[in-house]
Amino acid sequence: KSALTFETYARCSTTKGRASILTLPHGPVNTPVFMPVGTQGTLKGMTPQQVKDMNCQIMLNNTYHLGLKPGQEILDEAGGSHAFQKWNGNLLTDSGGFQMVSLLKLAEITEEGVQFASPHDGSLMMLTPEHSMSLQNSIGADIMMQLDDVISSLTTGPRVEEAMWRSVRWLDRCIASHKRQDDQNLFAIIQGGLDPELRKKCVDEMVKRNTPGYAVGGLSGGEEKDQFWRIVSLCTDLLPKNKPIYCMGVGYAEDLVVCTALGVDMFDCVFPTRTARFGNALTMKGTVALKSGKHSSNFGPIEEGCDCSTCKNYTRSYIQLLVTTKDTVGCHLVSIHNVAFQLRLMREMQEAIKRDEFPAWIKQFFAGYFGDQSKYPVWAVNALQSVGVDLTA
Amino acid sequence: MTSALSFTLQQLTDAPSASGIVRRGTLQFSKKAKTIQTPACLTYTVRGSVPHLVAENVKLLPVQLLQVTLEQFVEEKEPMSFKYPHGIHKYLNLELDHLVFCDMRDPMKQEAVTFNTDKYLSVSTHGGVRQITPEMWAQAMKAYNPDMCALMADIVTDNDAKLKRIKRSVDRSLRWLDDILPKAKEIGIPVFAPVVGHTSEEERARSAVSTAERDVDGFTVNVIGLGLGNEATLKLAKASLRNLPKNKPRIVYGFGTPEGILDAVASGADLFDGSYAYKVTEQGRAMIFKFGEISADNTARDKPKTVNLWDPSMSHSFEVLDSTCGCYACNASHTKAYIHHLLNAHEMLGPILLMSHNVYQLDNFMASIRKSIDDNRFESDLTRFMEYYNHVEEGDGMRNHQDEIDVESLGTPLKKKRTLLL
Ligand SMILES: [Zn+2]
Ligand SMILES: [Zn+2]
C-alpha cells in the first residue's frame, strides 16, 4: 500500500539522472531532493516559517532522538511531530536503529531486534521492528524507514549475508505492524554490503514486498568511494523505475551531483548544518571558512548570486565577527545559507535535467567547485564516465 | 535648520499624578520622519544583533529603536565596522526604518575595567581591555552615522570609589564633553550627554547641572551595579533626574526589571535599555505580566510575572505562551510543551522563540505604561501591579535541571532484568 505518487517528468538523455515530482501526504516534493536534518523536531536555529520560505519541501526527524525527548507519550498527545513543531511540509524519519548502534555502547543485534543498554540506567532493552513502527506511527512522518540490520560497510564474510536476510525478515515484520498505511509510507532499505550478488538478491526480495520507495543502505561508512558509487549504480539499475530511490547519509556537493547522475532521487545529511556551527559556509566554489580573519574586510555576501536571506542582507565581514565571537546569530546565519545552498544545488540539477543539459551542467559544476581538473576526485570521474559524462574531455 | 531630533512632552509637572514627575513624550527624528513614543525601551543588542535573532525574526517584532554598544565592536584592533562605507544600519542589516542609538558600554552588565585617563576610556572586550580615545569615538560615529548617540564619559566602575575619584570623573566627563561636542556637531548626530556622579548625590547634582549647560539633545543617567539596594539606587537616579531640564529626554540605565522601570518612570525617566527581555530569555522564562489591565476587583495576590519553560510541568502544556500576544512564537501557535522540549533538547530554536516573545512583551509593557499615563491612572495602576504580582527575584529556570528522557518509548525492557554498569 502506498500513500505517495511519483511522477518522472524529465530524464537526462545521457546519464541516469531524472527529475520527478514525489507527492506525499504533506504536499509535493521536487526531486532530486536534499532533505535537511532536523534531528530533534527543529532545523538548527530556524523557525518553520523560515524553512518554508526557502522552499524546503521535506526534512528529516530522527526517531531515536524524538523517542528520548520528548518521548512517545508527548508525541501522541501533540498529535505527531508535524503538529508538535508546527511544520506543514513533509517529514521523513529513520528507524532509530542506526542511531542506537552508532550512539550507544553495547548495542547488539539479535533476531528479535536491536538490543541496547538504556541511556538512563544501563538496563538492557530491545528495539524491535514492531516497536520502531509504533514509534514512527506516533511521530507520523510522511516517509518512515524500516528497521534494518545495520552493519559497518567494511564488514565482510557471512555476517553481511546474515544482515541482508535479517533486514528482509524485519521488513516483513515492519509491514505487518505498520498501522497507518493510508497516510504514511514505509520504505525498504537495500542491504548487502559491497557484494553485488547480495545486493541483487536483496533488491529481488524487497521489490517483491512492493514498498512505496527504496533506500540504498549500508554505505557511507568509510568504504572506498569507488566501491560506494558502484553499489549505488547497481541498485538504481535494479530497482523499479517508477519508485523513488533514497541514498542515506549523503550530503557533500560532489556526492550529490554524482549520485543524481546515477539515478538517485533523495538524499539527507547533517553535514551542512553541522559544519555551519564551525563557521564553514558551502558555496559553488567550495567551502569557505568564515572564521578566517581575511574575511573581516570583505563587505560582500558569503556567496555572490545566492538568494538566501543571509546573502541578501549580511556581509562576510559582519558574519566573521559573529562567528569568531560565537554569537548564536552568526551560527544561524551560516546554517541558513548552507541549507539554502543544498536546496539551490538540487534545484539547479532539476532544471538542468529538465532542459536536458545535465552533462554540461555537471562539467561546469566540477570546474567551479574544484577549479583545476587535477583536483577532481578520481572516483567521481570514474562514476560519471560510467554514465557517459567524461570530465576529462 | 531644524534639529534632527526633537522632544515634546505631553504631560508636564501639572499632571494630576501624586509624584507630579511622570512624563509622557514623543521623540521626533526629522530626517527619517519617525517618532518614538516615551516612556519606551531601546531594544537590546549584542554586537548589533538582537540576541538569537536574525533580521528575518526581528522584522516580525515591534522593534523601532535599537541600542548598539560600541565596546562590543572593538575586539579587533581595527574594527572593520569603522571602515564600512554605508553606515551601521546597513552593516547590521537593520531595516531602513529601524533607528539606532549608539553608546559605549553594555547597559546590561557593566564590567569593571582597569582605569580611565584624561586621554582615553577603557572598555572590556573578548580580546581584553581596549582604550578608546575621543578621536576613535568620533571616527566610529562618523562611520556608523547612528540616529542618536551618547558621548564618552568617565564612568566609575569601582563600587567603593572615594569622593575624590567621583569628583574627578565628573570633571573629566565635562572636559571630554567640551572636547567632543564640536566633533559631534560637525558629524550632525544628536547627542546624549552622560550624567555621572556615581554614589554621591551632590556630585550627581553637580554633574547634571553642569552638563545641562551644554548644548546637548538629551542625557543618559547610569545607576548600573552600584551594589546598593533598590531604594538607595533610585535615590541616586532621582538626584540626577531632578537636576536635569524638563524639556530634554533622559535615558536611564540600571533598572533592569519591570518594577525598576516603573519606579524610574515615576521618577521622570523616558527611555530604558531593553536588556530585561534578554535576561528573562536566558533564564528560560517567558514574560506573562500585564500592566494597567488588572481590574481593581481582582483580589489575586503574588501572581508570577513570568513562566519558567524549563519546568517539567510544561511538557504537557499544549497552549501558547500568551493567547493575546502578537509575537512570532504565539502567532505560529508554538506551544509551551514544544518550547520546553526545545530547551530540554538544547536546541537553538528555544531561545529564538522565547526572545521573540519577550521582546514583543517588553514593548507591550511599555505601551501599556504610556496608555496608563495618557488615561491618568498610572499611580493606581502601579499600586495594583505591585499588589497583584510577586516581586521576588526570579532565578535561572535551568537551575537543577535534569534532562527528561523517555527511555521506555525506545523499546521494551528485556524480560530477564539484567543491569549493566556503563
Ligand atoms: Zn546564501
Ligand atoms: Zn508571544
Where is average pLDDT lowest: A209-218, B114-123, B223-232? B114-123
Instruction: Indicate whether B234 and B319 sit together in one domain.
Output: no
DSSP state of A104: S
pLDDT at B157: 84
* Domain-located, residue B207: yes
* Domain-located, residue B421: no
What CA–CA distance (Å, rounded) separates B312 from A218?
39
**Of B15, B172, B5, B141, nearest in space to B73 by CA:** B141
For range A168-176, the mean pLDDT: 98
Q: What is the CATH number of the domain that holds B90?
A: 3.20.20.105
pLDDT exceeds cutoff 50 at B1: no
Using alpha carbons, list the distances in angstroms from residue B118 to A37, B103, B137, B198, B204. 55, 19, 14, 18, 20
pLDDT exceeds cutoff 90 at B309: yes
The chain-wide mean pLDDT, for chain B, equals: 91
pLDDT at B2: 57
Q: Closest Cα of chain A to B144: distance in Å? A: 14
CB distance A59 to A342 below 8 Å: no
Q: Which ligand is nearest to the CA of A343?
A: 1
CB distance A189 to A97 below 8 Å: no
Best residue in B315, B318, B409 for a mutation probing chain A (most A CBs within 10 Å): B409
Instruction: Indicate whether B77 and B146 sit together in one domain.
Output: yes
pLDDT exceeds cutoff 80 at A347: yes
User: With pLDDT > 90 as the criterion, what percentage of chain B qualifies?
Assistant: 71
**Per-residue pLDDT tens over the stretch B53-98:** 999 999 999 999 999 999 999 877 788 999 999 999 999 988 778 9
Alpha-carbon dihedral of residues A377, A378, A383, A385, nearest 10 degrees?
Answer: 120
Cβ-Cβ contacts under 8 Å, B404 against chain A = 69-71
Query: ipTM score here?
Result: 0.97
Distance B278 CA to ligand 2 centre (A): 14
- Nearest CB to B332 within list A86, A296, A333: A86
What CA–CA distance (Å, rounded) separates B145 from B100?
9
pLDDT at A336: 98
pLDDT exceeds cutoff 80 at A33: yes
What CA–CA distance (Å, rounded) separates A240 from B327?
48
Are B409 and A318 in contact (CB < 8 Å)?
no
C-alpha cell at B298: 481582582
pLDDT exceeds cutoff 50 at A195: yes
Instruction: Indicate whether B269 and B343 sit together in one domain.
Output: no
pLDDT at A189: 98
pLDDT at A107: 85
pLDDT at A101: 87
What CA–CA distance (Å, rounded) separates A166 from B387?
68
Q: Closest Cα of chain B to A68: distance in Å? A: 5
Instruction: Indicate whether B146 and B31 sit together in one domain.
Output: yes
* Domain-located, residue B306: yes
Which three-class secondary structure string do you get for chain B?
CCCCEEEEEEECCCCCCCCCCCCEEEEEECCCCEEEEECEEEEECECCECCCCCHHHHCCCCCCEEEEEHHHHCCCCCCHHHCCCCHHHHHCCCCCCCEEEEECCCCCCCCCCCCCCCCCEEEEECCEEEEECHHHHHHHHHHHCCCEEECCCCCCCCCCCCHHHHHHHHHHHHHHHHHHHHHHHHHCCCEEEEECCCCCHHHHHHHHHHHHCCCCCEEEEECCCCCCCHHHHHHHHHHHHCCCCCCCCEEEECCCCHHHHHHHHHCCCCEEECHHHHHHHHCCEEECCCCCCCCCCCCCCCECCEEECCCHHHHHCCCCCCCCCCCHHHHCCCCHHHHHHHHHCCCCHHHHHHHHHHHHHHHHHHHHHHHHHHCCCHHHHHHHHHHHECCCCCCCCCCCCCCCCCHHHHCEECCCCCECCC
pLDDT exceeds cutoff 80 at A351: yes
**Per-residue pLDDT tens over the stretch B164-204:** 999 999 999 999 999 999 988 888 899 999 999 999 999 99
Instruction: Indicate whether B77 and B217 sit together in one domain.
Output: yes
Are A119 and B405 in contact (CB < 8 Å)?
yes
pLDDT exceeds cutoff 90 at A20: yes
Instruction: Indicate whether B305 and B257 sit together in one domain.
Output: no
Residues near ion ligand 1 (Cβ under 5 Å) = A 306, 308, 310-311, 337
CA A164 to chain centre: 21
Best residue in A73, A318, A319, A337 for a mutation probing chain B (most B CBs within 10 Å): A318
C-alpha cell at A230: 558502484
For range A234-258, the mean pLDDT: 97
**Nearest C-alpha in A relative to B54:** A329
Instruction: Indicate whether B163 and B246 sit together in one domain.
Output: yes
- The annotation status of B89 as a binding-site residue, yes or no, is no
Amino acid in the structure at residue B296: A
Using alpha carbons, list the distances in angstroms from residue B1 to B4, B30, B34, B188, B321. 9, 11, 18, 12, 48
Are A49 and B332 in contact (CB < 8 Å)?
yes
Cβ-Cβ contacts under 8 Å, B334 against chain A = 86
Residues of A annotated as catalytic are 94, 268
Structural domains counted in chain B = 2
- Maximum C-alpha span of chain A: 61
For range A118-134, the mean pLDDT: 93
- The annotation status of B41 as a binding-site residue, yes or no, is no
Instruction: Indicate whether B264 and B305 sit together in one domain.
Output: no
pLDDT exceeds cutoff 70 at B416: no
pLDDT at B237: 96
pLDDT at B420: 55
- Nearest CB to B318 within list A42, A77, A106: A77
For range A182-208, the mean pLDDT: 97
DSSP state of A294: G
* Domain-located, residue B280: no
- Nearest CB to B91 within list A47, A318, A329: A318
Q: End-to-end CA distance of chain B, in Å?
A: 77
Distance A47 CA to ligand 2 centre (A): 14
pLDDT at A121: 87
* Domain-located, residue B388: yes
Using alpha carbons, list the distances in angstroms from residue B230 to B224, B225, B227, B254, B275. 11, 11, 9, 10, 18
Instruction: Indicate whether B226 and B262 sit together in one domain.
Output: yes
Q: Closest Cα of chain B to A178: distance in Å? A: 16
pLDDT at B194: 95
Using alpha carbons, list the distances in angstroms from residue B411 to A126, A137, A173, A216, A370. 5, 14, 15, 25, 46
Where is average pLDDT lowest: A78-92, A151-165, A269-283, B283-297? B283-297
Q: End-to-end CA distance of chain A, in Å?
A: 46
Percentages helix, strand, coil for chain A, rounded to the nearest 5?
Answer: 45, 20, 35
Distance B55 CA to ligand 1 centre (A): 14
Are B54 and A333 in contact (CB < 8 Å)?
yes
Instruction: Indicate whether B135 and B239 sit together in one domain.
Output: yes
Distance B52 CA to ligand 1 centre (A): 19
| Beta-bridge partner residues of A5 | A23
- The annotation status of B330 as a binding-site residue, yes or no, is yes
Distance B326 CA to ligand 2 centre (A): 6
Query: What's the domain range around B37?
Result: 5-273
pLDDT at B102: 97
* Domain-located, residue B121: yes
Instruction: Indicate whether B16 and B118 sit together in one domain.
Output: yes
Distance B398 CA to ligand 2 centre (A): 20
Instruction: Indicate whether B220 and B89 sit together in one domain.
Output: yes
- Nearest CB to A329 within list B52, B315, B409: B52
For range A199-226, the mean pLDDT: 95
Cβ-Cβ contacts under 8 Å, B92 against chain A = 318
Q: If you write DSSP's letter for every residue of A347-382 in order, what string do you get?
A: HHHHHHHHTT-HHHHHHHHHHHHH-SGGGS-HHHHH
pLDDT exceeds cutoff 90 at A367: yes
* Domain-located, residue B286: no
Cβ atoms < 10 Å from Cβ of B216: 19
**Per-residue pLDDT tens over the stretch B367-413:** 999 999 999 999 999 999 999 999 998 889 999 899 999 999 999 99
Cβ-Cβ contacts under 8 Å, A37 against chain B = none
Cβ-Cβ contacts under 8 Å, B51 against chain A = 327-329
**Of A9, A7, A5, nearest in space to A23 by CA:** A5
pLDDT at A320: 95
Cβ atoms < 10 Å from Cβ of B182: 9
What CA–CA distance (Å, rounded) separates B157 from B129?
14
